[in-house]
Amino acid sequence: MWLAGFVGLVASAEDLLRRTISNWLPLTALAGGIACHALTAGWRGAGSALLGAVAGFFVFLIFYILGGMGGGDVKLMAGFGAILGIGRLLPAALLAAIFGGVLAVAVLGCSALRRRGKNAETGKAPAAIPYAPAIVMGAWLTLFSGV
């Protein structure tokens, strides 16, 4: 849980402030997740962590290919997949999608209000949405609720 807390806080802060996620964060989550699962459940735990990482990567890969998500978000979900294991990945991904949708609506609403306040239509798309907080909230809720 400490690992998930640390990685989540740093990734969210970095994504909100710099709109990027450093590669060392998903790698730390991956290595730590595999190590923790291996220590608690042996080879079976390590396998669950590896399957969680692979599934976490592929869950969001399609959104990256379609241009709706950055590569750091895909790698972060893979790292959290290792922390959560394969059994908890799907609930975390679904919760991340819900939080991401709420975040997207909020960003679009704020962008529309800002344009309306300026009384000018710029025609520009809203800025990219930092998705790390949504991934982190989905992973944390899954991890801490025991789903």
Classified as helix, coil or strand, 101 is helix
Q: Please, what's the b/e burial string for 1-17 (b: 16 or more CB within 10 A of its CB; e: otherwise)?
A: eebbeebbebbbebbee
- Give CA 133 to chain center in angstroms: 7
How far is the C-alpha of 45 from the C-alpha of 132, rounded, in Å? 26
Q: What's the pTM?
A: 0.85
The contacts of residue 62 (CB under 8 Å, 6+ apart) are: none
Neighbours of 35 (CB within 10 A): 15
Structure confidence by residue, pLDDT tens digits, 57-101: 999 898 899 988 899 999 999 999 999 999 999 999 999 999 998
Classified as helix, coil or strand, 126 is coil
Looking at residue 118, its pLDDT comes to 61
Structure confidence by residue, pLDDT tens digits, 92-137: 999 999 999 898 888 788 877 777 666 555 555 555 788 999 999 9
